[in-house]
Structures are given as structure tokens and as C-alpha cells.
A and B are shown apart, each in its own frame.
Chain A
């Protein structure tokens, strides 16, 4: 087990290193001058020269990378081009907002997926099964931005139940915060809930064919006990792993959702930074997102191998 964890940890370090090269390369290796990219076509030669000097763009590329990584390791992700605020400070102010949205959306996805998946699998072929299948199929196909606009039109403008957009910090006004988070959470969580429903249904159907489930029925256990005490526990394992691994697409979804609902999180930050060509902020934000995904994937791998020792044995032997 320790060997497996050490191997995974080594791989994680290699991937983090490659991620850092890619993030650096995205802005620096592409054809053209990064300074003109950042300042735009109308920049004066003096402004360009000054920016090149400040960013160390006159140094060889490998030196630029070493300086940049050295800064990152010390928590210096550079400064925003728009207001010269340290990128790290900007990220630290946005991360809690995206984290809150992600948690709400995840909880909503699980709250929908678990009952829907169970009903669909236990009553296979019933009307509920068809309803769930249609929901799952639609959920994975609906674009988040269209769903967001439909929600605003229906729940806000037509029925007047919820405010259309905006954000208030939880500490400032918890009730208003939760009310404002409902629609963004639905828009972000519906895709994951559809995927989890599909996965839980197929996973549960597979587990229900197992010998120990048949034994459970044979010894006279009630269906409720068989499903909840025995089948669900095993069926949830792959579902939870997938849910953990979905963090990457969740963060991608947050970009769109936060833009539609004016939620000031990481996603909105990236879009605004891209549109205003504030590349140090873009670099810092995508580096943070990629690092978060790699580290969460590592933790999921370890947690899964602890729950199912066959994984680590298989992984170590490869």
C-alpha cells in the first residue's frame, strides 16, 4: 500500500511539473510577443519595453520559467495588469465563492441522483425508470448557459420567486446568500446529477445481480434492507469516485454559471481576465484549478485504494 501511495505521489509531482510548464507555455511559448498580447495592438513601444523588462521577458525562456516557478512556490503568482493587485490575493478572495457554489451544486446533484438512481434501478422498466432515464439523458445534454437563462426567465422573471442574479457573502446575509445560490447551483449541478443517476442506476443493477444480494432475499430480508444496507453501500463506491473525479468539469461549468448569474468567483474572474487580456490573472487562476484537480484526483485514488485494496495491488504490479 505504501509503495502504491509513493508511486502515485511521484506521478502527481510529475504531472504538477508538466501542468506548470503548460500554464507557463500557454502565455510564453505561443507565437508573438506576450507583452503585445497583454497590452494589445495599440500599445506604445515604450510601454511594451517596460512590460518586457518588468516581466523578465528579455531573459532566455528557461530562466523565465525558473523565475516564474520560484515565485509560484513562494506564493508569488505575479500582479494583475489592470490594478496591480497580487494575483494570489485576488484568487484567495474568489476561491471561497466558487467553493461554496461547487459544494451547493454537488449536494444538489447527490440529493437528486441518489433517490432517482435507486428508484430507477429497483423499479427497472417502470414509468419512474423511464422518467429518470429521460431526465438523465436531458441533464447530460442541456447546455448550462441555456439552462441558466431558462431558470432566470421562469423562476425569476415569470414567477418572481427568486432574484435573477447577484451575490451576497454568507457571513453578511446567510438567507440572501442561499436564495441567490439556488439557481446557479441548479444550473451547475444538473449535469452531474444526471451523470450520477445514470451511473448509480447501472452500478446498482449490477450489484443487485450478485450472489450475496440473492442470499439476502433468500434468507427473508425485506427489499428495503437489501437495497439500503447491502446493495447501495457497494454501488456507491464507483459513484463517489466518479463524483470526485468530476471536479474538473465542475470547475469548467463554474466559468459559465458564474458568468450568467454574476457570481464573483474563479470562473467569472477567468472570463473577465481573458476578455481584458489580464494574463497573469489567467495564468494564476488556471494553475490553481489544474493543481486542485490533480491533488483531488490523487486523494480520490488513495481513498479508493484504501476502500478497495485490489486497486493498489493491481496498480503496484503494473
Chain B
């Protein structure tokens, strides 16, 4: 089992696996997002209290959910980097950060656009909003730290440590609306018991969620491929691969 695992984690074989996997993830993302957003924006009924304004949920909730999942994945990869020093895991850490930062920024901006008409304010310093902003800074910190090193491996190790330390923020974001009074409402779908959203509205939300996850998986895989090629540019497999690519 371990030999299989080590073979998978070797740069050329993972590169080939990603090459086969990525188009399917991308295709799945396009199909699910097209269905979810079209259904959500056109066919789903308007909400009883927020009317049509609630429809921004189809962008906001997937982006916010993915921002937390990606951070968790980055922190887990960080643990693998620090303990086992696996090169592939180093690429995972540095590849996730920009995608996660983008999703966090989307969640924050769509949240502000939603907050103004519904709550009456773009921004309040409640626990949920503040901790999500901290999440953005953690992602930006990882990106900045990575740029600050010349040696790729040392950079990845430093980034991994920051990712691990920052992972304490993930449960804080998740449970902030339960632990403390906040202006942000509680969870609608990611909670124990039944989701408090009617099926007609929930179906496109789940589709948009799955689509956003697939898109991020696609984006991260492609970044990992790039990172692997760059790091291994001197090796024969990378040279072979690059010579096969025609430059237009």
C-alpha cells in the first residue's frame, strides 16, 4: 500500500494523473454551475422575507464553504510537509493559497453586497465577518511568505507552519454564529438536523456548491501541475513533457 502511495506522490505520476483528472473536474464544474446558477436565479421561488435578494446565496454560500474547506486541506497538506517532507504536499500548500484567498474574497464581497440591502450595513464587526476577514489575511500571509523565500522548499515549510497555526481559525469561523451573538444568521444547510431551506431553493444551492468545489479542485490541480513542472524543470520527465508542447 505504501509503495503505491509513494509512487502516486512522485511528481511525474501525479502530473499524469492530474492531466487525466482535470478536464473531468472542469467539465463537471461547468455543468453543475450552469445548472445551479440558472435554476437558482431563474426558477427558484423568491424568499418570503428577502424576496429576490436572497439569490446571492448561490454565490456567497459556495464561496464561503469552499474557503473553509480549502484552508483545512491546506493545513492538512502542511502537516504532511512538516512531518514527512513530501514534495507533492509542498506544491499542494502553495497551490491552494491563491485559490482559497480568491474564494474568501468572493465570500466577503458578496456578503457585503447582501448585507447592505438586507441588514442595512455593508460591514459590521461581528464574530462571523471578522473571523472570515482573518481567514483572508491568513491566506494572504501564506502567499506573501511564499514570495519572501528564494528556496522553494524552505518557503513551503514556512508556509506550512503558518497554515497549521492558522487552522485554529477554521472552527472559529464555522461556529462563530453559534458560540456568540452575531448579526450574521446561523447555518442553513451545514448543521445537525434538517436544512432550513425549501427543496426548490436547496437543489440549485447544492448544485452550485458541488460545482464550486469541482472548480476549485480543477484550479488547484492545474496550479499543482504548474508548480511541479517549474520545480522539476531540470529533470528528464519535465523536459520531455515541455518539448512535447508546441508553443504558438
A, B assembled together: no
List chain B positions with a Cβ less than 8 A from chain A.
none
